[in-house]
Structure 1
Amino acid sequence: MITYLVNFTLCSALLLLAYHLLLVNKTMYTFNRVYLLLSILFSLTLPFIVVKQTIVPLPSIQPIQEQLQLSPDNIVSKAIPVHATPTIHAIADHQDINYTLYALIAVYGIVTLLLLFRFVRNLNTIRLSILDRESVVYKNARLILVDERLTPHTFLNFIFLNKHDYTNQQIEADVLLHELTHASQRHSVDVIFIELIQAFCWFNPFIMLYRKAIQLNHEFIADEAVLSNNHNIANYQHLLLSKLACVKSLNITSQFNYSVTKKRLIMMTKTTSAATAMFARLAIIPVIAIAFILFCTKTEAQQDPVANKPAAKSTPQKTEQAATKTSKTLLPPIFLSKDYPHTKEGVPDALLKEYNDIAGKYEESSERLMRHPEKISQADRDKMEAIFKKMSYKQQCDQSIGFTYNGPPLSPKHPTQAQIDIWKNPKTCGVWIDGKKVKNDELDNYKPADFGLAMVSRLTKNAINYKNYRYQIDLMTVANYKKYLKEAQENRYHSGMYYNMRKAPADKI
């Protein structure tokens, strides 16, 4: 809903800006009238239009926890925690009531009802004025004669005039023609429409500007009708100026709007050539296209990147080998940094075989991961690291066990009290503080400011503790985080070992 409101507001602003830049000073008032009304309708409906975008998905990348098996002892000599992401997720086992949403709905409802009440009251005031006053049929309209001194104004086909002036024939013919134009062209229908839009969409500040532009354009249309019948522009301008003293009428009616009389006087002397008018109309087309692109609702439809290619005949074994080769080419290990030492020419096959023979000693299919770092002899580690640094970048990407630099230190992340309260539930969360598993109620002894780093990991269904809880919460106290930060900065460019499970042989994973 918020997206719709934003798109509606911005679209209406863009189309109104185009009106002021391209159309407002052109004597093409009927086109401008249609444009302003349709701009509002277009802005209201455009966000509901759904456009499907076909995308070709990239190969899926598994979570780091599934791709890599790391141990702090394998990265630096001292224990430094390594996590896939420092992002804190709010984990809730119940839904809180969103009182803010209800408050906003209540405010919207109250303001809308007040505006509708004002609208209905104005209509009723006009209705009573029509019923209580003397009326006279005049061409296709009815003249409502009132005792009060007021500006001649029109609502639907009712023209309100001062009774004394009309009886004594003091109402100029140009004034009557001006108001009769409002009545015959149903300008009041436009005003009623924009009043209703404003009542329901009062949050959009541009609706009021639309209303002013529409009512001003009505005056231009009526002035044009008068001047097409009476070509003496100077006399008509003097007539308008003589009426400035009388200003009483309702906003919902068409009237002499003297706050914009100066604009009306200027537009009376302007002309627009047919070529200029055509150019202005054509210039609106790209504006509408831009609005459509920016503010329609877009959805994504995935397309298989190989769906349109003819299927090649191959054995299942060849297909599997091709898939494995593709995955190795497109999916380098996430932790492998491009600035890690490597060579352009790479190492010969003999060294690659020696490297893989050493790595094979530490790959255990029963554990689905490599042996713990402490089980790797220092001699084997040093030999593998030396060969790995001589490999090309492509050769490094193809290894199931590799080396990389330690990442930059994790930025501080402080939990909120609401998150700590959620983490106290042992059915959904397992809690570690400074690397040690603790009972959830231990969090009662801590405040948010006591922690320098908080991380949340969602357990996969294969995880050992998945049956006990769904999230692992790793917390560092401020003191331990400072210690970690110092050590991480000192060991920023020390080599760490990783295990890329997606590169491992099938029988190893």
Structure 2
Amino acid sequence: MINYIIQVILFQVLFVAVYDFFLSKETFFNKNRWYLLSTALLSFVLPLFKISTVQKAVPKEYYILLPEVVLSPQKVIEKASWYQSINYLDVLFLGGCILFFIVFLVKLERIIRLVLRYGTTRKDNYKLIFLPKETKAFSFFNYIFLGNDIPSQKREKIIQHELVHSDQKHTIDLLFFELLKIVMWFNPMVYVYQNRISLVHEYISDAVASKSEKKENYINHLLADIFQVEHISFINQFYKHSLIKKRIIMMTKTQSKKVKQLKYLLLIPLLGSMILYTACSSEEVKMNKVEKQPVTVYKSEDGKIVKKPSTGYQSKYLDLFLGKELPNTKEYSIDELTEEEKGEYLALLNGFNKEGMPQLSIRVFEAENGRKMVAFDFMGKNENQGKTNYQDSEDVPFSTMEKVPTFPGCAEGDKACFTRSLQQFVVDNFDASLSKTLGLSAGKKRIYVQFKIDKNGKVIDVKARASHVTLKQHVEALVQKLPQMQPGEHNGKKVRVSYTLPITFNVE
């Protein structure tokens, strides 16, 4: 979601930059109005646009490595405190939306109150409201508000100007951006857009209203008095001091030549580059990229890690440790691996997940020259005799999916919420008493559980690796109790997604 919001803001910056540098000084006012409206909408649609031909091919088998669930060393499982389970970014976003919605309602209430308090005078195609002891002049849809202190000889010109706003439905434009401000209150470009289109509205009305008299007289009329301004962002105001200078400059400007309309063709390469960017960009930013190197094999001699002569190994991201005892160097969690290292780690993990193979845990330790090495922690024969075809072409990875599975209670396709909810489910349902009854040796213990979410949103093919068969059976039963989810989608079809979830806890 954050990546989507960043793209929306970036596209709006580019669209407004094109407008300011190439279009804002031209007299194609109606075209500029539709440019601003359409590009504001396009900025929300383009990040969702994908071209399958430029995306990577979907691999046949891919297990998504989820973040580790780390359980409390004191109780094996720590029930998360209420304040730990809160997503404060979500609270901030929702709080901002509520605040700006209230502000919108207050502004709307002020207009309704003026109508109810002072009443309306019905005309042919508009309604006139006189405001006692005021010099304000503005419109809202077909309601025109005039201050009683505005001289009578000026009222007709103001009404003609405001009727252009009413006839061309300019209020709808302003309300559109006002609603955008509620859901994207943190986006400064929404305010920029609203400012730009308010000015275009005035240009349009000035162009129409000034046709009935000389432009010099119309301009003098604008400058004749200092009027009050109603500070409501979705009304069209006749006298708004910050815009009057720009309006006068535009009215005195020579009509733009039609050939300059070709400037709108700048949208074609701009849109093309945006579509290509959204189609090729991935949601995950790969950092600390490592290079493949010939594998170095290590072993333990007299408590020290030494290199073992080896030949025939292909270049890999991870080195290899062989020995009965585990290395005594720093151990890395799954989250500390790069994307390339995670992929290689998972390939090893899946390769040993076969019937008849000895059950083991693959752990990652520090090697030399900034590299990492994998070590095999054998835990006995694999008792899971289930036969699962792991070369199923229906399985689709997170990184290429159009719509990922959705955990109940989360927004559709929200990966972060999926991860948080899954972790909280494990925290709430893991049996803390098991560590005290199984006679486990002291130290860090890891459980790896693999499962799939099928095309109906059900959890299937659950398999776990643990240091004790009871732990293995408990975690498998726990994951099988996950609620039914909304399935993932790719290319318009429901697909199956595979996951690996590491669970870590300490036994004292």
User: Which band: TM-score by shorter chain?
Assistant: 0.5 to 0.7
Assess if the C-alpha contact under 8 Å between 2:141 and 2:170 holds in 1.
yes
Task: State the shift of 1:115 in Å.
Answer: 0.5
The code of the aligned residue for 1:242 comes to A
Q: Kindly indicate whether residue 365 of structure 2 is the aligned counterpart of residue 471 of structure 1.
A: no
Question: How far does the alpha carbon of each residue in 1:328-369 deviate from its partner, in whole angstroms, 9 at most, with x for none?
Answer: xxxxx9629xxxxxxxxxxxxxxxxxxxxxxxxxxxxxxxxx
Question: How far does the alpha carbon of each residue in 1:47-86 deviate from its partner, in whole angstroms, 9 at most, with x for none?
Answer: 22232125687999xxxxxxxxxxxxxxxxxxxxxxxxxx
Aligned with 2:123 (options 138, 156, 179):
138
Cα gap change, 1:468/1:260 in structure 2, threshold over 3 Å: closer, same or farther?
same
Assess if the C-alpha contact under 8 Å between 2:54 and 2:279 holds in 1.
no
Q: Distance in 2 between matches of 1:436 and 1:186?
A: 67
Q: Distance in 1 between matches of 2:20 and 2:326?
A: 62
Matches for 1:148-167 after TM superposition, within 5 Å: 148-165=133-150
Cα gap change, 1:134/1:435 in structure 2, threshold over 3 Å: closer, same or farther?
closer
The code of the aligned residue for 2:4 comes to Y
Task: Please name the residue that 2:22 is paired with.
Answer: 22
Moved more, 177-186 or 288-297: 288-297
Task: Please name the residue that 1:128 is paired with.
Answer: 113
Q: Percent identity of the aligned residues? A: 25
Task: Please name the residue that 1:419 is paired with.
Answer: none
The code of the aligned residue for 1:226 comes to A
Task: Please name the residue that 2:236 is paired with.
Answer: 254
Cα gap change, 1:285/1:271 in structure 2, threshold over 3 Å: closer, same or farther?
farther
Cα gap change, 1:90/1:269 in structure 2, threshold over 3 Å: closer, same or farther?
same
Give unmatched runs, 5+ long, in structure 1. 61-88, 301-332, 337-369, 373-384, 386-399, 410-429, 441-455, 477-483, 489-509
Aligned with 1:335 (options 275, 291, 294):
294
Cα gap change, 1:432/1:136 in structure 2, threshold over 3 Å: closer, same or farther?
same
Task: Please name the residue that 2:195 is paired with.
Answer: 212
Aligned with 1:432 (options 326, 339, 342):
326
Task: State the shift of 1:127 in Å.
Answer: 1.1
Q: Distance in 2 between matches of 1:269 and 1:249?
A: 28
The code of the aligned residue for 2:122 comes to V
Assess if the C-alpha contact under 8 Å between 1:50 and 1:299 holds in 2.
no
Question: How far does the alpha carbon of each residue in 1:179-216 deviate from its partner, in whole angstroms, 9 at most, with x for none?
Answer: 11111111111111110011111122111000000101
Task: Please name the residue that 1:502 is paired with.
Answer: none
SS at match of 2:87: helix
In the alignment of these two chains, the number of paired residues is: 324
Q: Distance in 1 between matches of 2:161 and 2:59?
A: 69
Task: Please name the residue that 2:132 is paired with.
Answer: 147
Task: Please name the residue that 1:173 is paired with.
Answer: 156
Task: State the shift of 1:262 in Å.
Answer: 1.3
The code of the aligned residue for 1:201 comes to M
Q: Distance in 2 between matches of 1:23 and 1:122?
A: 32
Cα gap change, 1:174/1:45 in structure 2, threshold over 3 Å: closer, same or farther?
same
Task: Please name the residue that 1:269 is paired with.
Answer: 252
Task: Please name the residue that 2:223 is paired with.
Answer: 241
Assess if the C-alpha contact under 8 Å between 1:14 and 1:291 holds in 2.
no
Moved more, 192-201 or 125-134: 125-134
Q: Distance in 1 between matches of 2:164 and 2:212?
A: 12
Task: State the shift of 1:227 in Å.
Answer: 1.8
Q: Kindly indicate whether residue 176 of structure 2 is the aligned counterpart of residue 193 of structure 1.
A: yes
Moved more, 268-277 or 153-162: 268-277
Assess if the C-alpha contact under 8 Å between 1:28 and 1:277 holds in 2.
no
Cα gap change, 1:475/1:249 in structure 2, threshold over 3 Å: closer, same or farther?
closer
Q: Kindly indicate whether residue 33 of structure 2 is the aligned counterpart of residue 33 of structure 1.
A: yes
Cα gap change, 1:9/1:101 in structure 2, threshold over 3 Å: closer, same or farther?
farther
Matches for 1:239-388 after TM superposition, within 5 Å: 239-255=221-237, 256-295=239-278, 335=294
Task: State the shift of 1:22 in Å.
Answer: 1.7
SS at match of 2:133: coil
Cα gap change, 1:475/1:92 in structure 2, threshold over 3 Å: closer, same or farther?
farther
Assess if the C-alpha contact under 8 Å between 2:55 and 2:279 holds in 1.
no
Give unmatched runs, 5+ long, in structure 2. 61-65, 72-76, 284-291, 300-308, 333-343, 372-508
SS at match of 2:120: strand
Assess if the C-alpha contact under 8 Å between 2:174 and 2:233 holds in 1.
no
Q: Which has the higher contact order (CA 8 A, sep 6+)?
A: 1
Cα gap change, 1:286/1:224 in structure 2, threshold over 3 Å: closer, same or farther?
same
TM-score (norm 1): 0.54
Task: Please name the residue that 1:182 is paired with.
Answer: 165
TM-score (norm 2): 0.54
Task: State the shift of 1:173 in Å.
Answer: 3.1
C-alpha root-mean-square deviation of aligned residues, in Å?
4.6
Q: Distance in 2 between matches of 1:435 and 1:187?
A: 68
Assess if the C-alpha contact under 8 Å between 1:12 and 1:43 holds in 2.
yes
SS at match of 1:145: strand
Assess if the C-alpha contact under 8 Å between 2:127 and 2:144 holds in 1.
yes
Structure with more helix by fraction: 1
Assess if the C-alpha contact under 8 Å between 2:330 and 2:366 holds in 1.
no
Cα gap change, 1:290/1:150 in structure 2, threshold over 3 Å: closer, same or farther?
farther
Cα gap change, 1:100/1:41 in structure 2, threshold over 3 Å: closer, same or farther?
farther
